[in-house]
Amino acid sequence: MSTKTQARHRLTILGSTGSIGVNTLDVVRQLGGREAFEIMALTGHGNIALLAEQARTFGARLAVTADESRYAALKDTLAGTGIAVAAGASGLDEAAHMDAGWVMAAIVGTAGLAPTLAAARRGADIGLANKECLVSAGELFIQAVRQGGGRLIPVDSEHSAIFQCLETDQRHAVERIVLTASGGPFRNHSLAQMADVTIETARSHPTWSMGLKISVGSASMFNKALEMIEAKHLFDVRPEQIEVIVHPQSIVHSMVGYSDGSVIAQLGCPDMRTAIGYALTYPSRPNLSVERLDFARIARLDFEAPDESRFPALRLARTAMTRGGVQGAVMNAAEETAFEAFAEARIGFLDMADIAEVVMDRMSSVKPAASIEDVFAADAEARRQAAEAISTIKKTA
């Protein structure tokens, strides 16, 4: 993009110190850095050194740590730079309301819901990398985007692929959406082997470089389950139109099947910068320094059906979509709570899905959310129920 004829684009990155945020700033750097983009706000959590370095390098107006106890450390680190500093929920809200036309929503978990919703309501274009916005508050979030007048552009590689494969004037002809999954490191493990999985082995992904939470979610296929729910809201399709196929090479990022039998797929090397760059410059395609596909070297692409007996999260996603209401929020909150227990070695790898299912069944009659406060209430109750279920597992272990 030419910086001589265009004003600098104003950006905010919610979650700049995570893998998505770091890659977003790399894309910004490739596309002209401070000459092409004005960084309004950057937010992080515990990595104060990285957050401060990013803020200085890109000249951010505001730097926010979600952890209020780290406010003084961030303020001291940025002293004399002229960069404003804030912390906690109020700081995230301030960042969301900065005058940025494009906001990357990359805060992991429900912590990212409130600031992303605030940005959507004021009309910003949202690069969505936070699954929970749609999983937990799908209809409310979509409504906020429509009322705000901004665009919602998916950043997850699978949803970005679908977004790219959808022909705008042929939505009526869409028969199915096919989400690809690598299968994770335990694709060929038996249930007995999976029962012995530890946090150390679960954090290693075969094709993508990701954070701990996302890596474990990939290993258990909870990430894919959440992506199913997300796809339903993003693309306004019925649950039965959403399929999952295991594709170990992670080259085909997802596909769309049409009524004439055609299937359109989006392919690329496993690199989040491609989807980020597309979202950042949509509807244009940027010139990025990423690896190009070498089809002769790849030689083959494999596909297989997922085994829902070993990966029950996929079945739970279908249950959540069929039940509707706050079941997405309940499933997500229960899984997040169970993940924390697994990461602390308090429960086993397979217990995570069991806990989510127990909580979903207990809360299956909760009324649909009429407001974001209802979503947070369901989230809190699901976490309480999950903690109770975890304590029961501990007692019987």
Which structural domain, as residue segments, surrounds residue 136? 9-154
Give how many domains the chain has, as a whole number: 2
* Same-domain check for residues 227 and 101: no
Question: Is the model's pLDDT at 3 over the cut of 60?
Answer: no
With beta carbons less than 8 A apart as the criterion, state whether 180 and 224 touch: no
Does any domain span residue 166?
yes
Distance between CA atoms of 29 and 15, rounded to whole angstroms?
A: 17
* CATH number of residue 112's parent domain: 3.40.50.720
- Dump pLDDT digits (tens) for 319-339: 999 999 999 999 999 999 999
Count of CA atoms in the C-beta half-sphere (13 A) of 339: 22
Instruction: Indicate the residue among 90, 123, 154 that finishes a domain.
Output: 154
Q: Is 205 in the same domain as 219?
A: yes
Q: Are residues 112 and 170 in the same domain?
A: no
- Candidate from 159-168, 200-209, 377-386 with smallest mean pLDDT: 200-209
**pLDDT for the residue numbered 212:** 77
pLDDT tens digits, 293-320: 999 999 999 999 999 999 999 999 999 9
Domain boundary among the residues 101, 134, 154 is at 154
Q: Distance between CA 54 and CA 49 in Å, rounded? A: 9
Asked if the model's pLDDT at residue 109 lies above 90, the reply is: no
Is the domain of 66 the same as that of 127?
yes
Q: pLDDT of 13-56, one tens digit each?
A: 999 999 999 999 999 999 999 999 999 999 999 999 999 999 99
Task: Let me know whether 170 and 144 are in one domain.
Answer: no
Q: Is residue 170 domain-shared with residue 240, that is, in the same domain?
A: yes
In a domain, 306, yes or no: yes
Domain annotation covers residue 278? no
Distance of CA 338 to the CA centre of its chain: 18
Tell me: do 260 and 236 sit in the same domain: yes
Pairing outcome for strands 84-87 and 102-105:
unpaired
Q: What is the DSSP string of 124-171?
A: -EEEE--THHHHHHHHHHHHHHHHHT--EEE-SHHHHHHHHH--GGGG
